[in-house]
Chain A
Amino acid sequence: MAGSIVLENIVKRFGALTIIHGIDLQIEAGEFVVFVGPSGCGKSTLLRMIAGLEEISGGELHIDGERVNETAASKRGIAMVFQSYALYPHMSVYKNLAFGLETAGYRKQEVQTRVNRAAETLQITALLDRKPKALSGGQRQRVAIGRAIVREPRIFLFDEPLSNLDAELRVQMRVEIAKLHQTLGSTMIYVTHDQVEAMTMADKIVVLREGRIMQVGRPLDLYNNPANQFVAGFIGSPKMNFLDARLSEKDSSRRTIEVAGQEIVLDRALSTKDDAPLSFGLRPEHLSIAGGGVSLGTWIVQLVEHLGGSTVVYAGKQSGESVTLVLDGQRGVRIGESIPLGFDPSSLHLFGADGQRL
């Protein structure tokens, strides 16, 4: 059973300091939603408010249509996986998994059935008698997830659960959590600062910054149509190139912009002020060397990274501008070489002085 969640003008204050500024959000039953943003953006605080671990200063929180602002954490039908795993070190894995069920007063037989079922799902049956200190990071993470599963909650909350794992294990666990979501069909909210995790796991991404939602949408919507410069820069790796631009004085139709010494004609007129600064955004994978499309002039190669499947090129101009390119395959680009850059105009992103998409 999955639960739906509605946040209405949710506010969090610590004394005079406001951390969350009136957030509105709807999460459908069974969705995998990822809260993503830089450190201090309020994503964990928001998750903890949904969990009932943090008091809600203003607004309303509804789970399955019921207002739960004052409802105790244990009565919200949620389970949470913590960044530090929060396993009880003095209890065996079995006891860790059973703790919540025993607390809720389940009969011993039912506890045993549920624990064994969760252990089989997570392939930790062989570890049930061990103490957490005898487990690897990945195994501890499985136990932490198992502790959530046994309670059969409507909603799973994950607070940066993979951040303590090494890169390889992180990828493996990412896949396992995604599979788990498919198997259980529960609503899952997952907090991370890693945009790759967000892109690969989410049905819906909520990008947060300084306690405000910057954009909500499906991963590829955010990638293709970022609502503002922050989201454009945050989603995608390597991050989007931003170059200073302005409207050309020579073109009264307001369709030409000057960027990196080049004049680029747009397919539409801009409504910004004549002297307003603009940001010209292009993803590294949308730049090409001497390809078709619109020219961005000649650039000097400053650094080349050969990744095997792709080549990352860092190029700059005398005037100080720099861009990153991701090229398919293995390329024979050399440092110091002059390269003509071009791009497909449909991949261009323009942002105004306020950071909003134009």
Chain B
Amino acid sequence: MAFRSDTLVEESRAAALPRKGAMRRIFDRNIHAYVFLLPWLIGFFGLTLGPALASLYLSFTNYDLLQSPDWVGAANYVRIATADPKFAASMKVTFLYVLLSVPLKLAFALLIAMAFNRGIKGLTLYRAIFYLPSLLGSSVAIAVLWRQLFASDGLVNMALWQLFGYEGPSWISNPNYSLYTLVILSIWQFGSPMIIFLAGLRQIPADMYEAAEIDGASKQRQFFRITLPLLTPVIFFNAVIQTIEAFKAFTPAFIISEGTGGPINSTLFYTLYLYQEAFGFFRMGYASALAWVLVVIISLFTAFSFLSARYWVHYDD
């Protein structure tokens, strides 16, 4: 009630202000809120929206950091679409990475979440341990560790030799395998979707399974007819988030290929190519155009996901 009274007082005070614009009155009334919002507003306008708009402008210019941007219209975009083989190569690598890593990571996360959902002892500890890779996974240190693991004399090949007598290749130096080591690294970071899956599984009422059990449904049928459909909102959320993350992946490829995207462009992620153009060749305008193309691709994917959701995502209410 006190809040309501204060609001009324403020409203009547605001109404009493003569000849002030409506916007001004609203600002006066909400000044305290804006003060608290200020740090975020500075961050948003100064570090997000401002640079984003600047990059949009730069994408229509040639700019090398040393001279003023030179307006070239849509030339950068035309070149991306028609005359840049590395763009196509990086797109191919990135799409392959997204198509492989996202479903595998989600499947693995769901598998672990279902194991945890069976009510094992020490669940909290296991959950924390299994979540750990997600906290460390995209760090430089882990990428370096990954490089050591999959090197020709790395731990993976040592294990293969000891267990099966198989002399493995240098996984990260061989263009046939290098991308897959990055996919495995991505799957290893399953903690975040796993936690969300676990929460989703906990939301499915136990009596749905009991009703199915009385109907004679096998565990397999229960999984495909009850668990998966009821989990579709969570699957949808995880799929969108993980796909966006996969499109944005940079650090592992940068560290493992030492910034080259090699061997033979096999780990040339789109973001890595963008980085090379920006900070390797100082083609800031072209790199900005590449960045905006990625924004469009991710936006289109997200829009398509939301449009398709009505056909396969089941919301309870």
Contacts and interface: CB of A to CB of B under 8 A. Distances in A.
A52 B212 CA distance: 12
Interface stretch (A96-104, A196-204, A304-312): A96-104
B230 A103 contact: no
Contacts of A107: none
A115 B9 CA distance: 63
A21 to B, nearest CB: 24
Nearest to A105: B216
Interface string B289-300: 000000000000
Contact of A104 (B215, B226, B229): B215
A99 B211 CA distance: 10
Interface residues of B, number: 20
Interface in A129-157: 133, 147, 151
Interface stretch (B55-63, B157-165, B186-194, B202-210): B202-210
Contacts of A147: 211
B228 to A, nearest CB: 10
A103 B217 contact: yes
A51 B214 contact: yes
A90 B205 contact: no
Interface string A197-238: 000000000000000000000000000000000000000000
A233 B89 CA distance: 81
A99 B316 contact: no
B230 A99 contact: no
Contacts, number: 65
Contact of B216 (A53, A90, A100): A100
B229 A86 contact: no
Contacts of B211: 80, 82, 86, 147
Given A84-B207, A133-B316, A89 B214 contact: no
B213 interface: yes
A84 B230 CA distance: 16
B225 interface: yes
Given A89-B314, A90-B229, A90-B314, A74 B208 contact: no
A52 B221 CA distance: 19
Given A99-B225, A133-B316, A133-B317, A88 B215 contact: no
A74 B214 contact: yes
Interface in B268-317: 314, 316-317
A73 B314 CA distance: 28
Nearest to A148: B214
B210 A74 contact: no
A74 B211 CA distance: 10
A74 B207 contact: no
Chain A interface residue count: which class?
Answer: 20 to 34
Interface string A57-78: 0000000000000001111001
Nearest to B215: A100
Given A86-B208, A89-B314, A133-B317, A53 B230 contact: no
Nearest to B232: A90
A73 B209 CA distance: 12
Contact of B215 (A53, A83, A133, A151): A151
Contacts of B210: 51, 53, 73, 80, 82, 86
Given A99-B225, A133-B316, A133-B317, A88 B217 contact: no
Contacts of A73: 210, 213-214
B213 A89 contact: no
B227 to A, nearest CB: 11
Contacts of B213: 52-53, 72-74
Contacts of A88: 208, 225-226, 229-230
B313 to A, nearest CB: 9
Nearest to B217: A103
Interface in B29-83: none
A111 interface: no
Interface in B96-152: none
A79 interface: yes
A144 B212 CA distance: 13
Contacts of B230: 88-90
B205 A86 contact: yes
Contacts of B212: 99, 103
Nearest to B314: A90
A80 B229 CA distance: 23
Nearest to A48: B210
Contacts of B216: 72, 74-75, 100, 103-104
Nearest to A132: B316
A115 to B, nearest CB: 14
A79 B214 contact: yes
A199 to B, nearest CB: 27
B314 to A, nearest CB: 4
A189 to B, nearest CB: 14
A84 to B, nearest CB: 6
Given A74-B214, A74-B216, 14 more contacts: A51-B210, A52-B213, A73-B213, A74-B213, A78-B214, A80-B210, A82-B210, A86-B205, A88-B225, A88-B230, A103-B212, A103-B215, A103-B221, A133-B316
23 contacts: A52-B213, A53-B210, A53-B213, A72-B213, A73-B213, A73-B214, A74-B213, A74-B217, A80-B211, A83-B207, A84-B205, A86-B210, A88-B229, A88-B230, A89-B316, A90-B229, A90-B232, A99-B217, A100-B216, A103-B221, A104-B215, A104-B216, A133-B316
Q: Which 9 A-B pairs have the closest CB atoms?
A: A74-B216, A100-B215, A90-B314, A86-B207, A86-B211, A90-B229, A82-B207, A89-B316, A73-B214
Interface of A: 51-53, 72-75, 78-80, 82-84, 86, 88-90, 99-100, 103-104, 133, 147, 151
